[in-house]
Amino acid sequence: MSKSKKLRSSEWFNSDNKKMNFVHRSWLRNQGYPDDYFEGKPVIGICNTWSELTPCNGHLRQFAEIVKRGILEAGGFPMEFPVMSLGETIMRPTTMLFRNLASMDTEESIRANPLDGIVLLTGCDKTTPSTLMGACSVDLPTIVVPGGPMLSGRFRGEKIGSGSMNWMVKEKQKNEAFTDADFREAEVCLARSIGHCNTMGTASTMATMVEALGLTLPGFSSIPAADSRKKMFAQLSGRRIVEMVKEDLKLSKILTREAFENAIVTNSAVGGSTNLIVHLTAIAGRIGVDLKLEDFDTHGSKVPLLVNLKPSGKHLMEDFYYAGGLPVVLNRLKPLLHNEVITANGKSLGENYKDVACYDDDVISSLENPLKKEAGIAVLKGNLCMDGSVIKPSAASEHLMKHTGKAVVFETMEDYHDRIDDPDLDIDKDSVIVLKGVGPKGYPGMPEVGNVDLPEKLIMQGVKDMVRISDGRMSGTAGGTVILHVSPESTIGGNLAFVENGDLIELDVEARSLNLMISEQELAKRRSEWKVPESLAKRGYVKLYVDHVEQAHKGADFDFLVGGSGSKVERDSH
Ligand code: FES
Ligand code: MG
């Protein structure tokens, strides 16, 4: 480290205040660090989302040690710290409720400590956006180590993927016997190695996103967690972050508007999750890039689908890696990307992905011969979603893309569960299922319930898909003609609140419209008679969440968290 460039950590260890230096150094010395650790070595914070309650990140404790090897080799001083970890499958009521809390934990942990650069160890769905949001609000040099997907599952000869298997089991349960023993066997077949979901669900989408944003070493995101090359890349990331500190390659230098547009284009090409929308928007908000819901349609909807992975296609992340992984996609997308943007390794995106080979055209297709011509997310507007809603056409049914049907309304998730399989429910294949009260403030936490199951009696008749509308989200591993993120949500008096059974709803994806076919007068009358639903949030963090969470089209961040405060701390602790 040249003497001219002052490290942030030197304010703790080598400042003009000798007494403070003593305090800051002395207590750390109880870990056995030698003198020279405090004399100009960049201090690298390893922000670890490891937790036994987040099995997808269960290997990250070991990975932190590997990252440390790289940091030490490059002359840095590694300091690992834990942050709140969000385990998608276990946490109730939904991890999304805690994404902003984990981001606050990350932000404050970074800023308050003598750190010069950051490595984010992430994996499960929310652990990537939450930590990145927090890091953006501090804006130090930062690199991401994505934990990687699980190896492909195999159940009785059939290849199975995370999430997609859940839907398959549900269908099996409804149509034939699926015993407890079958369940137990399927469980372990599905999750046979370390890592996160192995489909292009939200975790793989987020890993893809960080690489497309330029925040990982090139080629890192698609490597399975159990592959030895994952560890090698973790070590190399440790080496690289030390250099990034020396180059002062901060997040804001990488996360330009162009980088965000690249992430949107890439997400379309890989058939990524709709959850990208709320997360990428929130990340952009933290770093000061004005990303609008419309940007996802403008930049993403015309992009062809190149990657044949579940839930949009048939393969799994392990196959994607063997086919060449994300580097092939970023290489093939060149005509659609901003290739000049700088990335974590100091090179441009275009340079990083210029020489790559594809080893399986069935897994990754070309721009000329894509799996689908237009794969991205469509943003709908209309009187049912004045600030927008979204649909993922690549996961929807062609015959429902232009559809008018009668609303069958469920006021809450509980109401849905109580009545959906009632044999007397007035519903047919052309009905539109409307679910209210599952938005950010309503549930609260905007859970992944938008892809509600169809009524059993219609499944028995062979109905495979129906139009479903809600203010909630959908799992990245799910599919169907599902309209999500309706904004404003019903709980704050968005027009979704005023839909009644039998109302006609008109969906036209090509025209980007979603409308409730009732008169302005009738709508006004219902609005005047409407009562605000009672909130479940009475105290504590959940109350803070409900009071401050923004609507889905703004990324569902807290109003007071948008933007950043930099890395400067005005006052010290003594
Ligand atoms: Fe963790 Fe899917 S449950 S990534
Ligand atoms: Mg999920």
Q: Is the CB–ligand 1 distance for residue 197 below 6 Å?
A: yes
Closest CA to 301 of 198, 219, 224, 390: 390
300 and 415 in a common domain: no
- Ligand at shortest distance from the CA of 127: 1
Give 420 Cα–ligand 1 centroid separation in angstroms.
Answer: 27
Counting from 1 in the atom list of ligand 1, the atom nearest the Cα of 55 is: 1
CA of 162, closest atom in ligand 1: 2
Q: Is the CB of 162 under 6 A from ligand 1?
A: yes
Residues 392, 325, single domain; the answer is no
Question: 10 Å Cβ neighbour count for 62?
Answer: 12
Judge if 123 and 247 occupy the same domain.
yes
**Strand-pair category, 482-487 with 467-470:** parallel
Residues 6 or more apart whose CB falls under 8 angstroms from that of 173 comprise none
Q: Helix 96-111 crosses helix 275-287 at what angle (to 10 degrees)?
A: 30
Looking at the fold, whether 199 and 321 belong to one and the same domain comes out as yes
- 364 located within any domain: no
Closest CA to 295 of 332, 325, 267, 333: 267
Residue 165 and residue 150 in contact, taking contact as beta carbons nearer than 8 Å: no
120 to 133, 146, 253, 291: CA distances (angstroms): 11, 8, 17, 23
Helix H segments across 14-158?
18-28, 60-73, 96-111, 127-136
Omega within 30 of 0 (cis) for the link into 488: yes
Decide: 275 in ligand 1 pocket, CB within 6 A. no
How far, in Å, from the CA of 487 to the mean position of ligand 2? 20
526 and 494 Cβ atoms separated by less than 8 Å: no
CA dist., res. 350 & res. 347, Å (int): 8
- The answer on 204 and 67 residing in a single domain is yes
46 C-beta closer than 6 A to ligand 1? no
Question: Does a structural domain hold residue 569?
Answer: no
> Which of 299, 334, 352 delimits the end of a domain?
352
For residue 125, give the ligand 1 atom closest to its CA. Answer: 4
Name the pTM for this structure. 0.97
Q: Does residue 125 have its Cβ closer than 6 Å to ligand 1?
A: yes
159/162 Cα distance (integer angstroms): 10
Ligand positioned closest to the Cα atom of 195: 1
| Residue whose C-alpha is closest to residue 272's, from 202, 364, 211, 319 | 202
Same domain membership, residue 207 and residue 89: yes
Q: Is 402 helix (H, G, I), strand (E, B) or coil?
A: strand
Residue to mutate, 50, 53, 56, ligand 1, most ligand atoms under 8 Å from C-beta: 56
Number of compact structural domains in the chain: 2
Please indicate, yes or no, whether residues 111 and 58 belong to a single structural domain of this protein.
yes
Asked whether residue 499 is assigned to any structural domain, the reply reads yes
Neighbours of 519 (CB within 10 A): 8
Token reading at 530? 């409407």
Atom in ligand 1 nearest the alpha carbon of residue 477: 2
In a domain, 348, yes or no: yes
Question: Does residue 146's CB lie within 6 angstroms of at least one atom of ligand 1?
Answer: no
Distance (Å, whole) CA 485 – CA 489: 8
Pairwise CA distance, residues 309 & 201, whole Å: 9
Please indicate whether residue 201, judged by its CB atom, sits closer than 6 Å to ligand 1: yes
Tell me: do 237 and 116 sit in the same domain: yes
In a domain, 568, yes or no: no
What residue has token string 């990975």?
A: 63
Q: What is the CATH number of the domain that holds 507?
A: 3.50.30.80
Q: Which of 91, 124, 164 to mutate to test the pocket of ligand 1 (most atoms within 8 A of CB)?
A: 124
Same domain, 283 and 393: no
Kindly state whether residue 473 falls inside one of the protein's structural domains. Answer: yes
Measure 272 CA to ligand 1 centroid, in angstroms.
Answer: 14
Q: Determine whether the shortest distance from the Cβ of 89 to ligand 1 is under 6 A.
A: yes
396 Cβ closer than 6 Å to some ligand 1 atom: no
Q: What is the pLDDT along the chain (574 residues), one digit of tens a residue?
A: 444 579 999 999 999 999 999 999 999 999 999 999 999 999 999 999 999 999 999 999 999 999 999 999 999 999 999 999 999 999 999 999 999 999 999 999 999 999 999 999 999 999 999 999 999 999 999 999 999 999 999 988 888 898 766 666 666 666 677 888 888 888 899 999 999 999 999 999 999 999 999 999 999 999 999 999 999 999 999 999 999 999 999 999 999 999 999 999 999 999 999 999 999 999 999 999 999 999 999 999 999 999 999 988 899 999 999 999 999 999 999 999 999 999 999 999 999 999 999 999 999 999 999 999 988 899 999 999 999 999 998 889 999 999 999 999 999 999 999 999 999 999 999 999 999 999 999 999 999 999 999 999 999 999 999 999 999 999 887 889 999 999 999 999 999 999 999 999 999 999 999 999 999 999 999 999 999 998 889 999 999 999 999 999 999 999 999 999 999 998 887 7
223 in the same domain as 76: yes
Which residue range forms the structural domain that includes residue 440?
378-537+544-553
Give the ligand 1 atom nearest the CA of 89. Answer: 3
Q: Which residue has the tokens 């870990």?
A: 31
Residue nearest (by alpha carbon) to ligand 1 atom 3: 88
Residue 24 belongs to some domain of the structure: no
Residue 455 amino acid letter: P
Q: Is 80 in the pocket of ligand 1 (CB under 6 A)?
A: no
Instruction: Tell how far the Cα of 346 is from the centroid of ligand 1, in angstroms.
Output: 31
Helices 202-213/127-136 angle, 10° precision: 30
Residues 332, 382: one domain?
no
Q: What is the pLDDT of residue 2?
A: 44
Decide: 253 and 342 in contact? Cβ < 8 Å. Answer: yes
- For the chain, what percentages of helix, strand and coil (3-state, to nearest 5) are there? 40, 15, 45
207 lines ligand 1 (CB under 6 A): no
Distance 88 CA to ligand 2 centre (A): 6
The pLDDT, as a whole number, for residue 405 is 98
Say whether both 335 and 448 belong to one domain: no
Distance, CA 164 to ligand 2 centroid (Å)? 12
User: Residue 94: inside a domain, yes or no?
Assistant: yes
Q: How far apart (Å, rounded) are the C-alpha atoms in residues 481 and 389?
A: 13
Q: How far is the CA of 54 from the centre of ligand 1 (A)?
A: 8
